Amino acid sequence: MASTSRHDWSLHRKGPVDQARHNEKVKEAIRQNLPEIIAEESIITSDGKRLVKVPIRTLEEYRFRFNPNQGKRVGQGDGDSKVGDVIARARPGGQGGGGTQPGDQPGVDYYEAEVTVDDLAELIFEDLGLPDLRPKSTQEIPTEEVRFTEVRKKGPMSNLDRRRTIMENLKRNARRGMPVLGNITNDDLRFKVWEQEMRPSSSAVVIAMRDASGSMGEFKKYITRSLFFWMIRFLRTKYQDVEIVFITHHSEAQEVDEEAFFKMGESGGTRVSSAYKLALEIIQERYDPERWNIYPFHFSDGDNWSDNDNRLCVELVGKLLEVCNLFGYGEIREGGYTSSLMSAFSAIKDPRFVIVTITEKRDVYPALQKWFSRGGMAVG
């Protein structure tokens, strides 16, 4: 009679562990390609709820394979190789083919991973925060903080605690006289359980200013909306009750609602100082610096009306810095020129005036990182 007692049932238990490893590799692949991914138009124009398809390079399992760069060979015996020896390397000089040209090497396989905008936001925002957020005398906003509170035997694979899982496997095998890692079962799996706690943090207002003049072409308009899309999503994800003021300007500035801020067309000339004057008026009327952390952010192509207005802008930025934690100016360029406004701003040496220059889509993510770095942030 055939016996099945020696069958290795551990092969059937590797699914959860392999799934967790695969999910982590997908996350890492997305993380490495965030500069390209977050500026995709399909994401910016989405409602923020639907699935987004992200191209990911195929994640292959390690396996032995024949060396395609050598001819047919037959051999036997132990050979003279040692542990750690490199068996073979990819042959340089092979051609994979590009455009209409043929090649003799295999291509790189890609597949489309479906992720939600929330999944992307989690990866984008994991190391970001409002810089220099200070405790104020009154009015606080609760901030979400994730804490791992306990460990359980069941849970989603995304919360798998690898270290404790390995320890449980080693302990179980040691009890059987085999103190080695292997044959992981569902009984070995351990999962972190986390809770979202609300803790008080200082109140904050962000003043978002957008150049809506006629010189802001399609690319500049798209980059501006892309940056503000993620900025606003970041603020509302991390800080539950942060206030956001929306200002658009051409030769005149006006406060608008969020929908108009994103959808308003571009026309007219440019007088940047009008936006800064309005921001100062709003701060004086509604946001006492003793009670509020204040963060103005402005996007423009720097194509301002006159040198006189540039000098006025420098003066107004100085006044804003007297009452603000940080002022972020983003200039969107098509080409290598430096605007007259940027040249004027070079005279401002205050480290709280943070400038980013954007020339292509992949600059969006570094801009967010530069403005919302956790470094130096004092949270109350």
Domain extents in the chain: 10-61+110-125, 144-199, 203-371
Q: Is 345 helix (H, G, I), strand (E, B) or coil?
A: helix
DSSP class of 61:
P
Please tell me the predicted confidence (pLDDT) of residue 47: 59
The set of residues, in sequence order, having a beta carbon less than 8 Å from that of 98 and lying 6+ positions away, is none
Please tell me the predicted confidence (pLDDT) of residue 314: 96
Q: Is 84 helix (H, G, I), strand (E, B) or coil?
A: coil
- In terms of average pLDDT, the best of 40-54, 110-124, 149-163, 301-315 is 301-315
pTM to 2 decimal places: 0.62
Please tell me the predicted confidence (pLDDT) of residue 15: 60
7 has pLDDT over 50: no
Q: In terms of pLDDT, which residue wins out, 24 or 87?
A: 24
Per-residue pLDDT tens for 56-66?
Answer: 665 555 566 66
Please tell me the predicted confidence (pLDDT) of residue 18: 65
Distance CA 16, CA 29 (A): 20
Q: Which of 295, 158, 320 is nearest to 239 (CA)?
A: 295
Q: Retrieve residue 179's tokens.
A: 């103190």
Give me the mean pLDDT over the 231-257 stretch. Answer: 87
Please give the CATH superfamily to which domain 203-371 belongs: von Willebrand factor, type A domain (3.40.50.410)
Q: Is 193 helix (H, G, I), strand (E, B) or coil?
A: strand
Per-residue pLDDT tens for 181-214?
Answer: 888 888 888 888 766 665 545 588 999 999 988 8
**What is the CB neighbour count within 10 angstroms for residue 234?**
21
Please tell me the predicted confidence (pLDDT) of residue 377: 40
Please tell me the predicted confidence (pLDDT) of residue 79: 64
Please tell me the predicted confidence (pLDDT) of residue 351: 93
Please tell me the predicted confidence (pLDDT) of residue 2: 43
**What is the CB neighbour count within 10 angstroms for residue 277?**
17
Distances (CA, A) of 215 to 1, 208, 262, 300, 339: 85, 19, 17, 9, 13
324 pLDDT band (50/70/90 cuts)?
Answer: very high
